[in-house]
Amino acid sequence: MPSPKIFLSSTCYDLGMVREQLRSFFIRLGYDPILSEYSDILYDPRTHTHTSCIQEVPNADIVVLLIGSRFGGKAVPEALNAVDLEALVKSSFDITVLSEPEKLSITQLEVLKAIDATVPVFAFVEEKVMHDHFVYLKNKEISDKIKFPSIEKAESAKYIFDFIAFLHQCNKGNSIIPFAKIEDIESHLLKQWGALFQKLLRERREDTHESRKMFTISEQIEDIKTAIISTIDNSKARDVARSVIKYRRLSEFLSGLNLPDFNFITASEEGFDGLLKRADIVKVMDITESRISFGRTVLIKMDGSFYEMRHPQDFLNRIAIDWTNFISLPSDVRKIVFEAISDMGRLGPNILRYRKEMFEEYFAKQLEKESPREITIEELLRIEQGPSVSL
């Protein structure tokens, strides 16, 4: 049975006993602790050990941070490159610690990686260190002249305290708990994780309830549509009303294409392949994982530019089916339907987004890692094998 992975981040020499006790605590809870001294981290021989630690953080479900009297080892440049420090600038109101990234410790970098990867961080600071942190904040101008009893090396005090300030001023997840003994940490984690689990269960119930309400509303809307259409006496007007409902999705797709002549929509009897050719589309690709943010299916034009489609390839299959049914309507009905839907405007986000960038350049890095699957027109036109899809 899978267990939550808990990454314990701290200096080892001053907090070794606390780390050992917390490891036992996590195991008693049935969780999977990740501690560097127990070989829980893969130390890839091709990289520095610091980099290996950083790469392990996103695999964890939770990071527990302990801050004590020591600063720890300074992170190597290779490990620094594994963290997007520029993105972290917006994560806190106090980013003093980020002004000198070359002086960050490996422990600090582990936590920054967790924040960057949206892994929840539970931070604990030794009580005496937290006390000196407040003294530091009150006397920053002369802090270099103060010897803080809780900090082992005076030259590292500024970097420890600035990091605490960064965490405390984060725009989310900024809770920092002082601790005097291991029981303080265990008690806090038990309460917090129990409350978090309870909250997730409650949200699950609420989501289920909302889904049921949305399903009921959808059924009511369908009943209303049916009732309205049934009140239309003229059979042609009734067919138009049905078509406006049925072909809204197709109309929004067509509106997103840069067609040279929209009369093609109302007059053509060509199949879906003819429609794609008319839009100058020569290839359809399914991008599984990439920098594409709008969707994951791309329609590539002859000049190399492309459309991003918000939906996966199956949606394009349904559009092809809708197009085949749409061109069977009389030309005058098609014109009325398309214009009516266009006048109504979009109810949701755009289906297509056109990019003038060249596909090969835009996805250069992605194409090196994988070979995106090309979707043939025949696959899109699986109309005879499947039933028509109505809205």
Q: What confidence tens digit (pLDDT) does each residue in 124-172 have?
A: 999 999 999 999 999 999 998 999 999 999 999 999 999 999 999 999 9
The residues pairing with 64 across neighbouring beta strands, listed in sequence order, are: 8, 122
Query: Could you tell me the CA-to-CA distances from 307 to 70, 92, 209, 296, 312 in Å, in that order?
Result: 53, 36, 37, 10, 13
Tell me the two tokens of residue 115.
């924040």
- Tokens matching residue 361: 């350049």
**Angstrom distance (rounded) from CA 272 to CA 318:** 11
The type of residue at 37 is E
Percent of the chain with pLDDT over 90: 47
- In the chain the domains, ranked by start, together with CATH numbers, are 5-180 (3.40.50), 234-380 (no CATH)
Distance between the two ends of the chain, CA-based, in angstroms?
A: 41
Among 39, 47, 57, 115, CA closest to 77: 47
The mean pLDDT of 202-221, rounded to a whole number, is 71
- 120/173 Cα distance (integer angstroms): 7
Name the H helices within the chain: 16-28, 49-56, 77-80, 85-88, 106-116, 127-138, 157-168, 182-230, 235-246, 248-256, 263-267, 272-278, 313-326, 331-344, 359-362, 364-369, 377-380
| Type of residue at 381 | L
Mean pLDDT of 311-339: 84
> Which comes out higher in pLDDT, residue 333 or 225?
333
Among 109-118, 243-252, 278-287, the range of highest mean pLDDT: 109-118
Q: Pairing state of beta strands 281-286 and 297-301?
A: antiparallel
Which DSSP letter does residue 312 get?
-
Element at 176 (helix H, strand E): strand 176-179
- Residue 83 is predicted with a pLDDT of 93
Rounded Cα gap, residues 315 and 320, in angstroms: 9
Is the pLDDT at 65 greater than 80? The verdict is yes
Helix (H, G, I), strand (E, B) or coil at 330: coil
For 230-242, write each residue's pLDDT tens digit: 454 566 666 677 7
pLDDT bucket at 6, cuts 50 / 70 / 90: very high
Considering only CA atoms, which of 387, 287, 294 is closest in space to residue 349? 294
Strands 352-355 and 306-309: antiparallel
pLDDT band at 80 (very low <50, low <70, confident <90, very high): very high
Please state, in angstroms and rounded to a whole number, the distance separating the CA atoms of residues 83 and 78. 10
Separation of alpha carbons 23 and 280, rounded Å: 61
Query: Around Cβ 129, how many Cβ atoms within 10 Å?
Result: 21
Query: Any idea which of 3-17, 216-230, 278-292, 311-325 has the lowest mean pLDDT?
Result: 216-230
Name the band, by pLDDT with cuts 50, 70 and 90, for residue 226. Answer: low
Task: Compute the Cα dihedral for 151, 156, 158, 164 and give only its sign.
Answer: negative
> Could you tell me the two tokens for 23?
């490891």
Does residue 318 or residue 32 have the better pLDDT? 32
SS3 (DSSP) at 62: strand
What residues contact 367, with CB distance under 8 A and at least 6 apart?
A: 360
The Cα–Cα gap between 285 and 373 comes to 6
Record the pTM.
Answer: 0.58
For residue 348, the 8-state DSSP code is S
Mean pLDDT of the chain: 83
Mean pLDDT over residues 175-179, rounded? 95
Q: What was the pLDDT predicted at 38?
A: 93
pLDDT at 217 over 70: no
